[in-house]
């Protein structure tokens, strides 16, 4: 394999090893000794292998565009596979009586840690975590232990900002255009500073600041809304939920996600972390650190997010009200639409009980679209959806223009001429077509392998949730699901996180190599 690729993938493995060891601190605090050993073994092994490969690949040339895409696909594949190692090790070495001690008092169900004795479940959980999806094999989340709970959320937080972005901030080894190609293969490609390395560090600066702010916000809010809630649990929940919110990951420390609080005020409290997670990090940087407050409305993606959230929440609430399927249609409709649009995936409603029209509306109106490009969200992204609708209007309008008229379009405060607009539309259109094709194929597979208790609408919903790294579920995702379907969702989450094209490039390289071919 190309040394350039090996070196970059190895640097990601070193970072992954460090990420694995950090939850050992939580295991130490809560005296979860088997989890402590599991994280240390996994982290040291992963970092050690990564360091060895990195050392053997010191002399490498600058990566080209094709290398950057392969690094993104292969690097993320290694992350999600190896990232499942702590779950597997901890589940294997923890005695059953210790597992059962994690089950909260008053409950007598089997600890969900037992599910991670299955390697495929471990890879699924790791994929869902690092891709910030939120679908889970942990049926009863509180029963896996505090350290594993923290690892799940911390994985989402790190995966949200991006491993390649982190590697560029830490390893200053790529000169020139190479680091821009690597940055663009995972992030939005928007430069916040003069150099890509400075940009990567600025992204983490914004990311850490907003997360810290949300920890304080959730902790204080929970204290005033639920004053009887134990302080230690409040702080633990706030840390984990802030990481899940900023990464739009959707994992929760509670058994029934945010619905576990059983409070409408808590639902309202968690809407701000979801919204902030769905906004682009470049926008947050300009808004917070450059004090460009006017961009709250002038930034095309932020304005669209606000408008779509309000309108979509109102429409979904009306659909749920007319269906007479849920007890609180307005409360559940507004929260679930924002959760789907931002691809956060926190759940406060039994979606399996919804009517098909409501299910399909949230899929098309929120989950397929997703949030802002440059955020931690999945989906097609709002900027592409806006570009496609603008392009459609432009193509129709230019039919009525004279031959001598300069054909241009104003988009996102920029004038784009005909040739460039056609190229942008082609890229957005091809990506959208491939994206929908992935969801379509997955839906067909889901229909074939799912239980007869579910409908076609449920299958489409679950597939769109996996592809868009949303994490909302109708109940299809479960430890008892078909291994084939579980594998399909793993592939979808992986492809959804890095926007499909790098995955297709990797598949092409595996079959045909890197030599050009006439098609």
Sorting pLDDT into bands at 50, 70 and 90, what band is 408? confident
Listed by start position, the domains of the chain span 1-187+501-519, 202-481
Gap between the terminal Cα atoms of the chain? 25
Angstrom distance (rounded) from CA 171 to CA 166? 8
Angstrom distance (rounded) from CA 320 to CA 328? 9
What tokens does 368 get?
A: 């397929």
Average pLDDT over residues 432-439: 96
Cα distances from 200 to residues 66, 159, 182, 287, 372, in angstroms, run 21, 14, 11, 17, 18
Angstrom distance (rounded) from CA 17 to CA 24? 12
Q: How many angstroms from the chain centroid is the CA of residue 209?
A: 19
DSSP 8-class letter at 475:
S
Which of 338, 346, 352 is CA-nearest to residue 462? Answer: 352
DSSP 8-class letter at 291:
-
The pLDDT value given to residue 1: 56
What tokens does 110 get?
A: 């089997």
Angstrom distance (rounded) from CA 471 to CA 245? 12
Which of 54, 65, 59 is CA-nearest to residue 9? Answer: 54
What tokens does 22 get?
A: 């950090």
What tokens does 425 get?
A: 């539309």
Angstrom distance (rounded) from CA 67 to CA 178? 9
pLDDT in tens, 40-81: 999 999 999 999 998 887 766 677 777 788 888 999 999 999
Neighbours of 25 (CB within 10 A): 13
Handedness of CA 318, 346, 369, 456 (dihedral sign): negative
Indicate the range of 95-104, 128-137, 302-311, 494-503 predicted with least confidence: 494-503
On whether the CB atoms of residues 16 and 76 are closer than 8 A, the answer is no
Element (H, E) at 196: helix 196-225
How many residues does the structure list for the chain?
A: 519
Examine the pLDDT at 404 and tell me if it is beyond 60.
yes
DSSP 8-class letter at 111:
P
pLDDT in tens, 471-480: 999 999 999 9
- Strongest mean pLDDT among 142-156, 168-182, 376-390: 142-156
Residue owning tokens 């990951």: 249
Average pLDDT, the chain: 90
pLDDT in tens, 253-296: 999 999 999 999 999 999 999 999 999 998 999 999 999 999 99
pLDDT in tens, 226-238: 999 999 999 999 9
The pLDDT value given to residue 177: 55
Examine the pLDDT at 190 and tell me if it is beyond 90.
no
What tokens does 371 get?
A: 């949030």
On whether the CB atoms of residues 246 and 160 are closer than 8 A, the answer is yes
On whether the CB atoms of residues 169 and 285 are closer than 8 A, the answer is no
Examine the pLDDT at 444 and tell me if it is beyond 80.
yes
Neighbours of 294 (CB within 10 A): 10
Q: Which residue has the higher pLDDT, 500 or 184?
A: 500
DSSP reduced 3-state for 408: strand
**40 phi, psi to nearest 5 deg:** -65, -45
Neighbours of 38 (CB within 10 A): 28
Q: Which residue has the higher pLDDT, 211 or 419?
A: 211
Average pLDDT over residues 215-235: 97
The pLDDT value given to residue 66: 79
Class of residue 224 by CB neighbours under 10 A (exposed 0-12, middle 13-18, buried 19+):
exposed
* No. of helices (H) and no. of strands (E), the chain: 24, 2
Which of 150, 153, 149 is CA-nearest to residue 113? Answer: 149
Sorting pLDDT into bands at 50, 70 and 90, what band is 386? very high
On whether the CB atoms of residues 51 and 14 are closer than 8 A, the answer is yes
Element (H, E) at 184: helix 176-186
Examine the pLDDT at 311 and tell me if it is beyond 90.
yes
On whether the CB atoms of residues 157 and 249 are closer than 8 A, the answer is yes
Average pLDDT over residues 426-450: 95
Examine the pLDDT at 180 and tell me if it is beyond 80.
no
Examine the pLDDT at 490 and tell me if it is beyond 80.
yes
Average pLDDT over residues 147-161: 95
Sorting pLDDT into bands at 50, 70 and 90, what band is 513? confident
Indicate the range of 107-116, 220-229, 413-422, 488-497 predicted with least confidence: 413-422
Angstrom distance (rounded) from CA 101 to CA 111? 8
Question: Which residue intervals of 60-145 are DSSP H helices?
Answer: 65-82, 85-93, 96-101, 119-130
DSSP reduced 3-state for 14: helix
Angstrom distance (rounded) from CA 109 to CA 473? 21
Which of 118, 157, 169, 104 is CA-nearest to residue 273? Answer: 157
Cα torsion for 257, 18, 239, 149, to the nearest 10°?
Answer: 30
**251 phi, psi to nearest 5 deg:** -65, 160
The pLDDT value given to residue 87: 98
Residue owning tokens 């902790």: 219
DSSP reduced 3-state for 243: helix
The pLDDT value given to residue 414: 81
**pTM for the full model?**
0.94
Angstrom distance (rounded) from CA 14 to CA 61? 20
Average pLDDT over residues 83-110: 95
On whether the CB atoms of residues 83 and 47 are closer than 8 A, the answer is no
HSE of 205, CA atoms in CB hemisphere, 13 A: 15
């Amino acid at each position: 394999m190309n040394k350039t690729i090996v070196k970059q993938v190895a640097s990601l493995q070193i970072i992954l090893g460090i990420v694995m060891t950090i939850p050992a601190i939580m295991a130490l605090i809560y005296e979860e000794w088997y989890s402590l050993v599991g994280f240390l073994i996994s982290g040291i092994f992963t970092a050690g292998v990564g360091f060895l490969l990195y050392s053997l690949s010191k002399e490498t040339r600058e990566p080209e565009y094709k290398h950057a895409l392969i690094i993104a696909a292969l690097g993320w594949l290694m992350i999600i596979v190896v990232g499942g190692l702590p779950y597997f090790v901890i589940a294997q070495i923890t005695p059953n009586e210790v597992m059962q001690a994690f089950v909260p008092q008053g409950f007598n169900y089997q600890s969900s840690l037992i599910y991670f004795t299955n390697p495929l479940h471990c890879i699924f959980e790791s994929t869902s975590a690092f891709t910030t999806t939120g679908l889970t094999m942990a049926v009863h989340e509180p029963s896996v232990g505090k350290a594993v709970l923290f690892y799940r959320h911390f994985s989402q937080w790190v995966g949200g900002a991006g491993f390649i972005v982190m590697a560029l901030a830490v390893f200053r080894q790529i000169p020139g255009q190479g680091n821009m190609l690597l940055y663009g293969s995972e992030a939005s490609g928007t430069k916040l500073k003069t150099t890509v390395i400075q940009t990567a560090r600025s992204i983490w600066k914004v990311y850490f600041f907003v997360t810290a702010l949300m920890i304080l916000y959730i902790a204080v809010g929970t204290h005033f809304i639920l004053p009887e809630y134990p302080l230690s649990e409040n702080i633990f929940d706030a840390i984990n939920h802030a990481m899940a919110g900023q990464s739009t990951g959707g994992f929760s420390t509670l058994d029934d996600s945010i619905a576990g609080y059983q409070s409408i005020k808590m639902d309202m409290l968690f809407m701000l972390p979801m919204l902030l997670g769905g906004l682009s990090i470049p926008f947050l940087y300009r808004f917070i650190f450059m004090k460009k407050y006017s961009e709250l409305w002038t930034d095309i993606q932020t304005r669209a997010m606000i408008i779509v959230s309000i309108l979509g929440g109102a429409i979904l609430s009306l659909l749920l009200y007319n269906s007479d399927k849920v007890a609180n249609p307005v409360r559940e409709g507004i929260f679930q639409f924002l959760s789907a649009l931002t691809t956060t995936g926190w759940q406060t409603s039994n979606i399996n009980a919804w009517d098909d029209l409501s299910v399909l509306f949230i899929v098309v109106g929120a989950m397929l679209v997703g949030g802002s490009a440059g955020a931690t969200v999945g989906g097609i992204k709002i900027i592409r959806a806006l570009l496609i609708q603008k392009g459609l209007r432009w193509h129709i309008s230019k039919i009525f223009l004279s031959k001598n008229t300069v054909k241009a379009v104003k988009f996102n405060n920029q004038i784009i001429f005909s040739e460039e607009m056609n190229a942008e539309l082609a890229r957005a259109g091809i990506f959208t077509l491939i994206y929908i094709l992935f969801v379509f194929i997955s839906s067909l597979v889901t229909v074939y392998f799912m239980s007869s208790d579910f409908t076609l609408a449920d299958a489409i919903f679950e597939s769109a949730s996996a592809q868009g790294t949303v994490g909302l579920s109708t109940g299809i995702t479960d430890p008892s699901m078909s291994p084939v379907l579980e594998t399909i969702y793993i592939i979808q989450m992986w492809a959804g996180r890095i926007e499909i094209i790098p995955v297709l490039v990797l598949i092409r390289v595996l079959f045909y190599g890197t030599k050009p071919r006439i098609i």
